[in-house]
Amino acid sequence: MADIGTRKTEHLDIVLNGGVNARGVSTGLDTIRFEHVAAPELNLDAINLSTTFLNRLLSAPFLISSMTGGPERAKTINLSLAEAAQHLRIALAVGSQRIAVEGGPSGGFTRDLRRLAPDVPILANLGAAQIRGADGVDHACRAVDMIHADALIIHLNPLQEAVQPGGDRDWSGVLAAIERIVRALHVPVVIKEVGCGISAPLALRLTALGVDTLDVAGAGGTSWAAVEAERAETARDKAIASAFRDWGIPTATAIVQARATCPRATIIASGGLKTGIDAAKSIRLGADMCGFAAAILSSALEGPQAIVDQFDIAIAQLRVACFCTGSIDLAALRHAGLCGDSLDRSFTKPHHSTKAAV
């Protein structure tokens, strides 16, 4: 347990120090440009950013994405995030609960989170490699129950595990384990990548297993291969991990492909999102929700007010993006005009879910 906690603390410090973003690949959101509406015929203050996610009404389509940092730091971070999420009326996804589920320190993964955030979705979190064994269903149930979560995220991080000394190498049976948990849990299961994207064929396979919410978490933001390269103790390990710094499906591509392949799924866009404009572009491409993690990590360490202040800016940016595209709400934003000469033709058609986010 101590080794895992130390590793997670190192991960947090490395991300905070910067320099671990993908370099040769972008999220793809930079290629998306809205057609500006110079006469929007709207009242900015009347624009409605609300949405429903996991049967709870949110003020904006934002998700505080999974963060961690070792048991003690995780506790402080999680309590601050819960308080901020409730104030903002946005969703909260916690970091990996592996240590707590396996009997280590709670890391703040208690009912205190629900006490601080009674009205917003809270998502529990376990790694795919941790749910393969005989205890997989039990661990999943414990992760949900310990924080009274509305859903369970199962995160997929095969590249990180492959380049991490002592990482989980055997991923056989992961899909079967996901299916078992989907059937056993009384709450929805969300499948999330951690920065390499979910491909269209995998998205289709996951929905066939009963998963109806996908967090594509594409490439272009934090590279966990780069993080592991920073942690590497040998030149060999560093060289292996560094070569995969730019690996993965760009976030924009992952959003479009997931929406096209799984029109009824709830799609969460994450992976390098930094601003409300990134969120607007993601929604236009087909996302229902937008997740922010590394972009708010420093604020998370400062406390609830810093988190609230940062998201207040992102919400304002999203509202202005709606205003300047003539979009009165998120449904209208999904049909906003794009400058077709600046992007691939596959991005020019409106992409939207056939159902509201759930």
In angstroms, the first-to-last Cα distance of the chain is: 35
**Rounded alpha-carbon distances, angstroms, from residue 190 to 14, 154, 174, 326:** 27, 6, 14, 32
pLDDT of residue 348: 45
Which residues in the chain land under pLDDT 50? Answer: 1-2, 342, 345-348, 354-358
Q: What are the angstrom distances between the C-alpha of 223 and each of 19, 143, 280, 324? A: 9, 26, 23, 33
Give which of 340, 325, 321, 295 is closest to 60, Cα–Cα: 321
Element (H, E) at 277: helix 276-285
274-304 residue pLDDT tens: 999 999 999 999 999 999 988 788 888 899 9
Cα separation, 286 vs 340, whole angstroms: 17
Q: Which residues pair with 213 in a beta bridge?
A: 190, 266
202 contacts: CB under 8 Å, gap ≥ 6: none
pTM for this one?
A: 0.92
The pLDDT score that the predictor gives to residue 357 is 45
Count CB neighbours of 86 within 10 A.
20
pLDDT at 349: 53
CA-nearest of 92, 63, 97 to 80 is 92
How far is residue 197's CA from residue 214's CA, in Å, rounded to a whole number?
10
The per-residue pLDDT for 295 is 79
Q: What is the CA radius of gyration of the chain?
A: 19
Domains of the chain in start order, with CATH, are 2-32+62-306+341-347 (3.20.20.70)
pLDDT digits (tens, 9 = 90+) for 141-183: 999 999 999 999 999 999 999 999 888 999 999 999 999 999 9
Q: Average pLDDT, whole number, for the chain?
A: 90
Q: Looking at the DSSP assignment, which residues form a beta bridge with residue 267?
A: 214
